Amino acid sequence: MTAPLPSPQWSPIMKRTRSFLLLPLALAAAWADAAPAQFTENKLLASDGQAGDNFGIGLAMTHDLRVVGARDVDTLGTDAGAVYVFRGCSSPIETKLEWSAGSAGDQFGRSVATDGERIVVGAPQDDAIMDGVGGPGAAVVYRWDGSQWVEEAVLRASDGKNEDNFGLSVAVDGDTVIVGAPYSGSINGAESGKAYIFEFDGTQWNETFVGASGWTHGHGAWSVDVEADVAVAGTKDNGTASHNRVYVLRRSAGVWVVEDAIFSESGKVNENFGMSASLDGDQLLIGAPALSARGVGYAALYRYEPASDDWTFVQNLEASDGANFDAFGHSVALRGDLAVCGAYQDDDLGADSGSAYVFRFDGTSFVESEKLLASDGADGDKFGVRVDTDGDAVAVGAFADDDLGDGSGSAYSFLPPAVDPYGAGLAGAGGLVPSLDATGTAAAGGSITLQIRDFVGGALTILLVNLAPASLPAFGGTVLVDVGSGLAIWPMVLPGVQGAPGDGDLDLTETVPDELACVSVYLQQLGSDAAAIRGVSMTNGLEIHFGE
């Protein structure tokens, strides 16, 4: 039997704000018994790329955006820089951003960040305020107005000096931006570094936080991130064990304060602990690529515990085939049940060809599931210098790739399968395990058919749909869809002879709304069945990743 999906029921999962898409990890634990499906690789190149552009040195993504920085584009002068924005996932459309005040040497695009509605671009060598070699730097904010990216503001440090490198790191979440100036030296000596926080009040951007006490010659704020009322800033150089730290800042009653300093658990020197950091809810992933020690890098996961008001060490993420000089952890990204660690000096495809490792949460811990290599990787590409993820797809920068000339650079977008069953269902009458699958075109405007099989005839069922998976014990089985914020529930009575095993088959067909382009949704069907362990049978889970 074929029936249409009730269109109005899609509306709860068509919201596209960042806060909705990035659900708490506690509710988004991945399925423990599902083998990871292979990613599909798409390579991104600048349409006007040239040798030496370093396209891929800056990288950020959301579900439908890939933002790539090319710090050494020469259109506005030698090494003025540019940013390329690709909207879409499988067939992205390119937009090139160049700073209206850009000039030679700015390195605009050295760092980039986006939350989907804004893009922030670092220009750490801008010298517009103090004309000289290696200026204090700037960060440029762009806002999406519904049809184009509009330059909204230029952020500068209130106490900026030449060589501060303000803008070497940037992050944005809504009306909050954090910018790192790792070569600033006015707190605790030369190149101790500073973090700056800016907030938009509806009219203008205001600097609301400067510095972080305690850094000493550590290049503080080499890495930064922000989400809601929490921000982090990490170090690069670790001359002594006491330098291995990441500061956690929290906004309370509108005021930013230093909440904690997280130190390397190993107590070792020269691990570069804090060179990268990624914040996701109450989880924080910190990279320690061990460049200074020329050792094997790692990434450390921490979780905030409200009861103790403390950030607690959870586990280290390490490459199964890690080696000295790989620089594993030079870049890290964490969203939901997915973590990615770049190792841009890995040698699998030639010296410094690079790699990226994907880790998935199995309900207990993060475990390595895939190692990503560029399909055309070669010597010196430095694939993995930057990584990002939205929790489903992965983006990787390779700034030294030479497709368009030596050092022209590239980026790679890795997409999950369009339709991917996961987890295990729960048997009902006749020992049959109901199943859920899909056929058709999993893309905006396409027609997709959900195939519901092997329920008892006439069963009262509910179809769960959300933007994150789960692994929640219930009814003697496992609920595989997040039942938290944003859950859509579709009740339906299946056809067939009441109570007859396997007689409740149904096909549901619907046109995919445009709003679901580049979004992954997770589905599972539960049905009444007197023969099931606790009166409920369940299908497997089903992930559908919609293209444009």
- Counts of helices then strands in the chain (DSSP H, E): 1, 40
Residue 80 CA to residue 513 CA, distance in Å, equals 40
User: What integer pLDDT is reported at residue 203 of this predicted model?
Assistant: 96
Beta strands in 217-337 (DSSP E): 223-227, 230-234, 245-252, 255-263, 276-280, 283-288, 298-305, 310-317, 328-335
Cα 250 to Cα 230: distance, rounded to the nearest angstrom: 5
Q: For residue 117, give the nearest of 152, 93, 91 by alpha carbon.
A: 152
Rounded to 10 degrees, what is the CA torsion of 367, 384, 150, 165?
A: 110
**Any residues with CB less than 8 A from the CB of 337 and at least 6 apart, and which?**
25, 28, 29, 30, 360, 361, 391, 468, 469
pLDDT digits (tens, 9 = 90+) for 456-472: 999 999 999 998 888 89
Q: State how far the Cα of 43 lies from the Cα of 288, in Å rounded to an integer.
A: 28
Range 530-533, long-range pairs (CB < 8 A, 24+ positions)? 530/429, 530/499, 531/428, 531/429, 531/430, 531/456, 531/501, 532/426, 532/427, 532/428, 532/429, 532/475, 532/476, 533/426, 533/475, 533/476, 533/477
SS (H, E, C) 74-102: CCCCCCCEEEEEEECCCCCEEEEECCCCC
Mean pLDDT over the full length of the chain: 88
pLDDT digits (tens, 9 = 90+) for 511-534: 999 889 999 999 999 999 999 999
Closest CA to 436 of 444, 446, 424: 424
- Whether residue 285 is predicted with pLDDT greater than 60 in this model: the reply is yes
3-class SS letters over 480-506: EECCCCCCEEEEEECCCCCCCCCCCCE
Render pLDDT for 129-146 as a digit per residue (tens, 0 to 9): 655 556 789 999 999 999
- The pLDDT tens digits of the residues spanning 10-69 come to 444 443 333 322 222 222 233 333 444 579 999 999 999 999 999 999 999 999 999 999
pLDDT at 131: 57
97: which 2 tokens?
């951003």
Q: Residue 220: is its pLDDT beyond 80?
A: no
> Cα dihedral sign for 127, 131, 134, 135?
negative
Q: Is the pLDDT of residue 6 over 90?
A: no
Domain boundaries, the chain: 2-27+419-545, 40-415
Q: How far apart are CA 266 and CA 479, in angstroms?
A: 38
Do 461 and 525 meet the contact criterion of CB atoms below 8 Å apart?
Answer: yes
> Averaged over 401-418, what is the pLDDT?
96
End-to-end CA distance of the chain: give it in Å, rounded.
29
- Where would I find the beta strands (DSSP E) of 81-240? 82-87, 93-97, 111-114, 118-123, 138-144, 149-155, 169-173, 176-181, 194-200, 205-210, 223-227, 230-234
Give the separation between CA 42 and CA 97, rounded to whole angstroms: 21
pLDDT at residue 377 is higher than 70: yes
Q: What is the pLDDT of residue 184?
A: 81
Q: Alpha-carbon Rg of the chain, whole angstroms?
A: 24
Contact present, 150 and 181 (Cβ < 8 Å): no
Two tokens, residue 446: 């396409």
Pairing of strands 506-511, 2-4: parallel
Mean pLDDT, residues 74-89: 96
Strands in 321-365 per DSSP E? 328-335, 338-343, 355-361
Give the Cβ contact number of residue 257 at 10 Å: 11
Q: What's the whole-number mean pLDDT along residues 222-251?
A: 84
The whole-number pLDDT of residue 244 equals 72
pLDDT of 217 strictly over 60: no
CB 372 within 8 Å of CB 357: yes
Which pLDDT score is estimated for 471? Answer: 87
Strands (DSSP E) found in 399-487: 410-415, 419-422, 435-440, 447-453, 460-466, 469-474, 477-481
CB 198 within 8 A of CB 179: yes
Side chain identity, residue 140: V
Strands lying side by side in the sheet with 149-155: 111-114, 118-123, 138-144, 149-155
Q: How confident is the model at residue 407 (pLDDT cuts 50, 70, 90)?
A: very high
Answer for the pair 221, 180: CB distance below 8 angstroms, yes or no: yes
Quote the CA–CA distance of 133 and 127 in Å, as a whole number: 7
> What proportion of the chain, given as a percentage, has pLDDT over 70?
88
From residue 197, how far is each of 64, 127, 211, 535 by CA, in Å? 26, 21, 9, 54
- Predicted TM-score (pTM) of this structure: 0.88
Q: Which of 51-55, 200-204, 306-310 has the lowest mean pLDDT?
A: 306-310
| Distance, CA of 497 to CA of 3 (rounded, Å) | 17
CA 438 to CA 436: how far, in whole Å? 7
CA–CA separation, 230 vs 209, rounded Å? 13
* pLDDT tens-digit series, residues 327-352: 999 999 999 989 999 999 999 999 99
Q: Which of 166-175, 258-267, 296-305, 436-445 has the lowest mean pLDDT?
A: 258-267
Residue 137 has a pLDDT of 94
**Fold category of 40-415 in CATH:** Methylamine Dehydrogenase; Chain H (2.130.10)
pLDDT band at 292 (very low <50, low <70, confident <90, very high): low
